[in-house]
Copies of this chain bind each other. A is one copy, B any other.
Amino acid sequence: MLTSKLSSSPKRKKLSINWAACIPIFSLICLFWVYAATAQDTPPTPPLTAEAVQAELNVGLDTLWVVVCAFLVFFMNAGFALVESGFCRRKNAVNILAKNLIVFAIATVVYWLFGFGFMFGEGNPYIGLNGFFLAGADNSPAIGDAYKGVFPSLNWTSIPLEAKFLFQLVFAGTAATIISGAVAERIKFSAFLIFSFLLVGISYAITGHWIWGGGWLASMGFYDFAGSTVVHSVGGWGALVGAAILGPRLGRYEDGRVNAIPGHNMGLATLGCLILWLGWFGFNPGSTMDLNPRLISHIAMTTNMAGAVGGLAATFTSWTISGKPDLSMIVNGILAGLVGVTASCAFVSVPSAAIIGIVAGVVVVFAVAFFDSIKIDDPVGATSVHLVCGVWGTLAVGLFSEADKFGAAPFPKAGLLFGGGIEQLIPQVVGILAVGGFTVAISFITWYAIQAVVGGIRVSKEDEEIGLDISEHGMESYSGF
């Protein structure tokens, strides 16, 4: 009732709202429908033996660990908002901030409605078909064979269902924010909202099911510990397709030259990078979803090492090439290293993590130049960081894995450089190609469908020149300067 005027008013003039309004309406319909379906039973209290105390307190420890990590990953929304708005122009800052702020709200709703069900619900090797709106049987935190419920692919972590959901939700939100940066400064606000809704709810969830939901890639031995592919390269593929379809910003490529369009606030961008780095301490170590002291310490260590050397490698690479150490390359180098080690952080040694980070830091510098050379205009380098280094990180599992050493279970085969041949590389390559192909296809279809329905996904030339803050939001980011 309260929101019906949003959608059914006969006097509506603004097309954009009509379409964007599908999101809350559809959500509301689902909401009321499922209202009665959500319920949970209290697990019985076990008798008090040392085993029982251990089990009970492990649930406490694991839950505490996972929710704290979820909070850190949630905070990455701020990191993405700041890096992306800092790297763009002042006249589009409100737009980027608004996108990054609202996208997590959208992710929350859609992932609850069906994203989590598609990803982790019982189903077939290709998609989950149970547990929409978190309904259905579930006796978490029971684990292993004792677990009875519709999310068997998450039966290995002894935490309540809602903690599982929360942790997975903040990951899903990350994928959408990655896209935001690549399509910045020219996309319609409403088009971005709809794309995010569909990406998180459908595409991300389906490919996630293949890997983390017990699907076909998991079965063939593909490993991606914390999401170089599941999160980063999925976001990156969506970003690439979006940036390609939208075309470059006005004036970006002229007469064969690449015109630099400098970002407007390096303080925000740097803070954003440090917030993301902080968030990664939740992203990677938290992906244990289990307070394994040695393993989480090791993952925090490999993660930090890869981020640090990624930053150093990118700095010295760009310093060598351009003669000056570029702050935006320090930022992107750190992020590249962090993305790069995300798939393998639990499976590789610290020196291997350093190598992975160095390669990521060097590669990201050349990737930025490469995308410019093919006139894919990605204002913040999201494609270079998340797609390219996400692919690299996924391959790195097949190269550097010594996974029996660090306490992760299950774990991939030894990597090529550690005597394992190409046995682990093969599923990694298959996974990269399959997820990439699927995400690209879905993204193309989705962007074109939105284009057809909304009437164009790019703002007019005039609006782009004025800036999206005024044209899309009617306000300035820095009033009084």
Contact = CB atoms under 8 A, between A and B. Distances in A.
Interface in A311-337: 311-313, 315-317, 319-320, 322-328, 330-331, 334
Contacts of A298: 160, 162
B74 A277 contact: yes
A114 interface: no
Contact of A52 (B50, B81, B330): B50
Interface stretch (A30-38, A339-347, A374-382, A431-439): A30-38
A396 interface: no
A40 B298 CA distance: 11
A466 interface: no
Contacts of A77: 274
Residue with the greatest number of chain B CB neighbours at <10 A, chosen from A49, A105, A160, A311: A105
A59 interface: yes
A109 interface: yes
A285 interface: yes
The oligomer's copy count stands at: 3
A351 interface: yes
B474 A326 contact: yes
Nearest to A82: B271
B358 A316 contact: no
Interface in A253-267: 262-267
Contacts of A161: 297
Interface of A: 2-3, 5-6, 9, 14, 17, 20-21, 23-24, 27-28, 31-32, 34-35, 38-40, 42, 48-54, 56-61, 63-65, 67-68, 70-72, 74-75, 77-78, 81-82, 85-86, 89-91, 93-94, 97-98, 100-102, 104-106, 108-109, 112, 133-134, 141, 159-163, 165-166, 169, 189, 262-268, 270-271, 273-275, 277-278, 281-282, 285, 291, 293-294, 296-298, 300-301, 304-305, 307-309, 311-313, 315-317, 319-320, 322-328, 330-331, 334, 349-351, 354-355, 358-359, 362, 405, 407, 472-481
Question: Which 3 pairs between the two chains have the least Cβ-Cβ distance?
Answer: A108-B308, A63-B293, A105-B308
20 contacts: A3-B317, A32-B351, A53-B53, A53-B54, A63-B293, A71-B278, A75-B274, A85-B267, A89-B480, A98-B270, A101-B311, A101-B330, A108-B308, A109-B308, A162-B301, A166-B297, A166-B301, A262-B476, A266-B475, A266-B477
